[in-house]
Structure 1
Amino acid sequence: MIKPLGDRIVLSIDQPEEEKVGGILIANNAKEKPVMGSVVAISETSVGDSKAPKSVKVGDKVMFDKYAGSQVTIDGEDYLIVHEKDILGVL
């Protein structure tokens, strides 16, 4: 597993169910980007090396900014690495 640095958080992206509109399957490139995921890993330090508590913990389901972070694939799994400020809320 990847260990995030700074104020970054690793999220597992929740993929939405395949959408059908009137019985027609919508192409992947026409779908909205996912905005929900689960926290997989949290950095141990923040900017300035302060040990301020994080607003999320591993296992939390969160909503994040649509265009936030960097998407990476590790061992066939898609992850998103975001800054803590890009997380909009905990579900």
Structure 2
Amino acid sequence: MAKVKIKPLSDRVVIKPEPPEEKTESGLYIPDTAKEKPQRGTVIAVGPGRVENGTKIEMSVKEGDKVLYGKYAGTEITIDGEEYLIMRETDILGIIEEEK
């Protein structure tokens, strides 16, 4: 079976959420029923941008960016057994930049 690739339209992005925390900082394991929904992930694919008043607005995020998004943002989808989110760029709260 061929691998499926998603190409988002307009100002939408596809995000691979980070897995939820398995244990607390103090070492306690978190049961599945108490795990928080992840709010961080990696951008897998981006759309071409949107057109506003006849002007094309480029996307601010790119593939590979680590981003923060709202807890209930986006639409959850499953492709080839992998969980992804599709959301508008405006649902992304920020880009995480690693300090060197």
Q: Normalising TM by the smaller chain, what interval?
A: 0.7 to 0.9
Name the CA shift for 1:21/1:41 in 2 (closer, same or farther; >3 Å).
Answer: closer
Matched, 1:83 2:92: no
Aligned length: 91
- Deviation, 1:28, is 1.8
- Residue in structure 2 matched with residue 51 of structure 1 by the alignment: 56
- Residue in structure 1 matched with residue 11 of structure 2 by the alignment: 7
- Residue in structure 2 matched with residue 29 of structure 1 by the alignment: 33
- Deviation, 1:46, is 1.4
TM-score under structure 1 length normalisation: 0.85
Mapped partners of 2:27, 2:11: distance in 1: 43
- Deviation, 1:27, is 2.2
User: For residues 1-44 of structure 1, what are the alpha-carbon distances to aligned partners after superposition, in whole Å with 9 as ceiling and x for unaligned?
Assistant: 11111211000111133125876532223211100000000111
- Residue in structure 1 matched with residue 68 of structure 2 by the alignment: 63
Out of 14-23 and 55-64, give the one that drifted further.
14-23
Structure 2 residues not aligned, in runs of 5+:
none
Structure 1 residues not aligned, in runs of 5+:
none
- The structure having more radius of gyration, on CA atoms, is 2
Mapped partners of 1:23, 1:60: distance in 2: 29
The answer as to whether partners of 2:21 and 2:30 remain within 8 angstroms in 1 is no
Greater RCO, 1 or 2 (C-alpha within 8 Å, sep 6+): 1
Matched, 1:42 2:46: yes
TM-score under structure 2 length normalisation: 0.78
